[in-house]
Amino acid sequence: MTKSLRQLNLSKLFSDKSTLNTSSIDVEKIKTFVSSPTHLLYESDIKTFISIQDSLYSNSLEVTTLLTEMILNSNQYSLPPLAKTFEKVITDSFLVHQISAKEYGTLVNLILTRALEIFPQTLYISETGEVEEHLGFENLIIFEDLLKYISDDDENFTRSQNIFFQLLSRSGSIKQAENVLEKMVTLGVSLTDRSIDEFFSTLERYLFASRNVSHLSRIEYNNSVKEILFKFRKFLLSQNITPSMADLLLEFSAYLDEFYGVMNMIEDSSHCDEILSKCQPKIIQTAVRCSIPHSHWAELESESSGIVCSSEKEVLSISPDSPIIRKKLIYTKAMATMFGILDRFKDTSAGLTTDALDQCLILSARLGNSGGMYKALSLRLQQNLSNSLISQDILSKLFDAFPINQGGVNFEKRKSSSLWIINDAIIADSARDEAILFHLRSNIDPFVDSKVYIKYLSALGRCLRVDLLSHEWESIILPPMINNNDIEHAYYPDIVISLLSAFKTANSIPSALVVLDSLLQSSTRSMATYRHAICILEKVLTHEVLPLFPTLNHLTKWLINNRDATNWSDSDVNQILSDTKSIAIKPSDLSLLITDSSVKPDAVGKLLSELVLQVRRGKDIDMALKHLDQMFK
């Protein structure tokens, strides 16, 4: 359809007075016109629509109401041509009932505010090795054109300039926003806190993406950024820094004196409560980052967990001058700084936020300090957050950090006189570590939060907690096998495999074989449990979740002793045992375990499969088991 035909149809549609109540605005018709996502409106379409409606109204108030409704109901397709049309409202005088300059300025502000609502934020992507700028909207100049018809003595002038600057900062180019900022400063236009906050929020995103592609170290890049920020010192050193400005200053602080300088600026700002409500996690992270050597923080960022020693005895035997102990002392002081800052939040109207306490949990775990984790959990209870479950994302990060390194510097038994809130937090306490595990476990529903539950099982394995793994097996994972419930859950096989892997990590293969026995027994109850057993066994053997030969030996013995298991067909036995493509046996491993030197790696599975099938055809079970024992040392 050509543009002229579309205009003709619009004229026919909106000139039908029988469908229009001339004494009121037909809001539904306006919504239909400007909010449809199925087509892009032409500027002339909107002009035609406004002209026809205007001819039916009796005063400028109705026209202003019409335009207001069009703006409020517009979307990212209809707002740009609507903005272009507004320039013609002033220049072409196509309206019968002309609107005043004041009304025009008010409507322009409404257009800019609507643009802020509907256009996305500009993204800065660094995945390709260079910073890519993905604009929220590419042609923001059409909105800037609206400003030239608002005189600088109009009460809407300053507000319009600020809203446009905010829009450009959010959805436009950072370079263009910087140019507009310089222009506004030169002209003496007063900047609002909201618009300048948006600019610094975008600037931080840009600088962060640039750091990701920089070859400089973090400290080197931070120093180079200070040269960039110097040109904005007028705003950054003001008495009223905004949340985004505070966030930016914290992100690029490198030392404790810089950090405390930013904290003083935050406390002096009129936006202090707002900053503390939004930025507590960043404040806490910065306090810790600036408290430890930059190389240590880089290690923590690249690893999923904090420092871990093999046992408490090993720590006790280390000299206080050893590198490990010196690092632990540094981390303990970082904890002191962190909780000292956290204590300052209590006295503000913002109080302690849940996000701040979650950040404390993560940092304590990464620094290997169970005392810090215990304190953060205790503060959650004190803040009446006992019913607020820890998010799955936070739980995943915490479980990845286990085992926590027993709280602190074990050779130091004196009470702490520093800002460290828990006086005895530097003393190892296994009961405290267990209490933390139990509390974190209470936040998980295994068959709802399956991915997190799997991480919990892995953490128990790394902590050598065979007792807790056995408890999870007997009370949570085994019942579905017996009762045929939840086994159809998508993650049930992964849960069982993770449990087996955790037992292996905890050096408890016998416990893992108990699980394997139950799995095999469940395969005889129903076809559903059988299918899951086959699926799990294939993964266990293929990925060597458990030591290969003991597992093959155990599985073969069970198949021999249960030769009448009806669900197990001969082809299934052959598939599980003799699939040499999935079971990769090294000759060196074979020579250690198989007594018959003539057996080749790719023949082991076939031999075991043939042995089971012979028993199924009538071979004596005891003789077969004896033959199996002779095969394996």
List, for residues 258-292, the tens digit of each pLDDT value: 999 999 999 899 899 999 989 999 999 999 999 88
State the amino acid at position 6 in one-letter form: R
Q: Using one digit for the tens of pLDDT, what is the confidence trace for 491-550?
A: 888 999 999 999 999 999 999 999 998 888 888 877 878 888 888 888 888 888 888 878
Are residues 436 and 472 both part of a single domain? no
User: Which value, to the nearest 10 degrees, does the dihedral of the CA atoms of residues 611, 612, 616, 618 take?
Assistant: 30
Question: Within a domain: residue 459?
Answer: no
Alpha-carbon gap, residue 469 to 489, rounded angstroms? 20
Domain total for the chain? 3
pLDDT above 90 covers a percentage of the chain that reads 26
Among 174-183, 221-230, 479-488, name the most confident range: 174-183
Note the helical H segments in 367-465.
370-382, 392-401, 430-441, 450-462
Q: Per-residue pLDDT for 364 more than 50?
A: yes
Q: How confident is the model at residue 165 (pLDDT cuts 50, 70, 90)?
A: very high
pLDDT at residue 24 in the model: 52
Question: Within a domain: residue 582?
Answer: yes
pLDDT at residue 191 in the model: 92
User: For residue 288, which of 252, 244, 332 has the smallest C-alpha distance?
Assistant: 332
pLDDT at residue 508 in the model: 92
Residue 580, φ and ψ in degrees, nearest 5: -70, -15
Q: Tokens standing for 633?
A: 């040392």
Are residues 44 and 86 both part of a single domain? yes
Q: Per-residue pLDDT for 469 more than 80?
A: yes
Alpha-carbon gap, residue 547 to 535, rounded angstroms? 18
User: For residue 490, which of 437, 440, 532 has the smallest C-alpha distance?
Assistant: 532
Alpha-carbon gap, residue 599 to 597, rounded angstroms? 5
Weakest mean pLDDT among 208-212, 298-302, 400-404, 495-499: 298-302
Alpha-carbon gap, residue 556 to 541, rounded angstroms? 13
Question: Within a domain: residue 244?
Answer: yes
Element (H, E) at 608: helix 604-616
Alpha-carbon gap, residue 467 to 465, rounded angstroms? 5
Residue 5: CA count within 13 A, CB half-sphere: 2
Alpha-carbon gap, residue 126 to 215, rounded angstroms? 13
In this structure, are residues 241 and 249 in contact, taking their beta carbons and an 8 Å threshold?
Answer: yes
Alpha-carbon gap, residue 413 to 404, rounded angstroms? 19
Q: How confident is the model at residue 416 (pLDDT cuts 50, 70, 90)?
A: very low
pLDDT above 70 covers a percentage of the chain that reads 77
Q: By CB neighbour count within 10 A (0-12 exposed, 13-18 middle, 19+ buried), where does 31 fall?
A: middle
Are residues 596 and 499 both part of a single domain? yes
Element (H, E) at 133: strand 132-134
pLDDT at residue 359 in the model: 92
pLDDT at residue 192 in the model: 92
Are residues 430 and 478 both part of a single domain? no
User: SS3 of 134, please?
Assistant: strand
Question: How far does CA 430 lie from the centroid of its chain?
Answer: 31
Q: Using one digit for the tens of pLDDT, what is the confidence trace for 94-140?
A: 565 677 788 888 889 999 999 999 999 999 998 888 888 999 998 88
Alpha-carbon gap, residue 208 to 197, rounded angstroms? 17
Q: Per-residue pLDDT for 426 more than 50?
A: no
385 vs 250, residue with greater confidence: 250
Q: Using one digit for the tens of pLDDT, what is the confidence trace for 314-341?
A: 333 334 444 555 666 777 788 888 988 8
Question: Within a domain: residue 452?
Answer: no
pTM of the complete model: 0.75
In this structure, are residues 541 and 507 in contact, taking their beta carbons and an 8 Å threshold?
Answer: no
In this structure, are residues 486 and 494 in contact, taking their beta carbons and an 8 Å threshold?
Answer: no
pLDDT at residue 302 in the model: 62
Are residues 338 and 425 both part of a single domain? yes
Q: Tokens standing for 445?
A: 């529903």
Are residues 429 and 502 both part of a single domain? no
pLDDT at residue 120 in the model: 94
pLDDT at residue 633 in the model: 58
pLDDT at residue 309 in the model: 34
Alpha-carbon gap, residue 576 to 201, rounded angstroms? 57
Q: By CB neighbour count within 10 A (0-12 exposed, 13-18 middle, 19+ buried), where does 587 fall?
A: exposed
Domain ends where: 441, 456, 475?
441
364 vs 617, residue with greater confidence: 364
Weakest mean pLDDT among 187-191, 447-451, 618-622: 618-622
Note the helical H segments in 389-508.
392-401, 430-441, 450-462, 466-472, 478-483, 492-505
Alpha-carbon gap, residue 272 to 241, rounded angstroms? 9
Question: Within a domain: residue 118?
Answer: no
Are residues 388 and 346 both part of a single domain? yes
Q: Per-residue pLDDT for 307 more than 90?
A: no
Are residues 535 and 585 both part of a single domain? yes
pLDDT at residue 16 in the model: 42
In this structure, are residues 478 and 469 in contact, taking their beta carbons and an 8 Å threshold?
Answer: no
Alpha-carbon gap, residue 375 to 402, rounded angstroms? 17
Longest dimension (CA), the chain: 107
Q: Using one digit for the tens of pLDDT, what is the confidence trace for 214-236?
A: 888 888 888 888 888 888 888 88
Are residues 279 and 363 both part of a single domain? yes
User: For residue 499, which of 481, 487, 511 has the smallest C-alpha distance?
Assistant: 511
What is the pLDDT of the chain when averaged over all its residues?
78
User: SS3 of 594, please?
Assistant: strand
21 vs 383, residue with greater confidence: 383
Give the gyration radius of the chain's Cα atoms: 35
Among 156-160, 166-170, 425-429, 587-591, name the most confident range: 166-170
Element (H, E) at 193: helix 193-213
Average pLDDT over residues 34-55: 69
Are residues 433 and 493 both part of a single domain? no
Q: How many CB atoms lie within 10 A of CB 178?
A: 17
Q: Per-residue pLDDT for 58 more than 60?
A: yes
Task: Look up the domain containing 237 and give its range.
Answer: 214-441
Weakest mean pLDDT among 357-366, 418-427, 596-605, 606-615: 418-427
pLDDT at residue 319 in the model: 42
Average pLDDT over residues 462-470: 91
23 vs 472, residue with greater confidence: 472
Q: Tokens standing for 564?
A: 């009448």
Alpha-carbon gap, residue 548 to 541, rounded angstroms? 7
User: SS3 of 632, please?
Assistant: strand
459 vs 306, residue with greater confidence: 459
Q: How confident is the model at residue 600 (pLDDT cuts 50, 70, 90)?
A: low
Q: Per-residue pLDDT for 588 more than 70?
A: no
Among 45-59, 387-401, 601-615, name the most confident range: 387-401
In this structure, are residues 47 and 88 in contact, taking their beta carbons and an 8 Å threshold?
Answer: yes
Alpha-carbon gap, residue 616 to 610, rounded angstroms? 10
Question: Within a domain: residue 120?
Answer: no
User: SS3 of 231, please?
Assistant: helix
Domain ends where: 57, 77, 99?
99
Q: How confident is the model at residue 384 (pLDDT cuts 50, 70, 90)?
A: low
For residue 493, whether the previous peptide bond is cis, meaning omega lies within 30 degrees of 0, is no
Q: Tokens standing for 25?
A: 């605005």
State the amino acid at position 609 in one-letter form: S
CA distances 457 to 211, 320, 406, 508, 515, Å, are: 36, 34, 19, 14, 14
Q: Per-residue pLDDT for 385 more than 80?
A: no
CA distances 253 to 48, 260, 289, 290, 616, Å, are: 56, 10, 9, 8, 73
Element (H, E) at 176: helix 174-187
The region that residue 67 occupies, defined by phi over 0 for left and psi between -120 and 50 for alpha, beta otherwise, is alpha
Residue owning tokens 């196509």: 94
Q: Which residues pair with 123 in a beta bridge?
A: 134
399 vs 13, residue with greater confidence: 399
Question: Within a domain: residue 133?
Answer: no
Are residues 516 and 376 both part of a single domain? no
Q: How confident is the model at residue 20 (pLDDT cuts 50, 70, 90)?
A: very low
Are residues 373 and 331 both part of a single domain? yes
Question: Within a domain: residue 40?
Answer: yes
Domain ends where: 56, 80, 99?
99
Residue owning tokens 């031999």: 607
Weakest mean pLDDT among 227-236, 293-302, 587-596, 601-610: 587-596
pLDDT at residue 177 in the model: 94
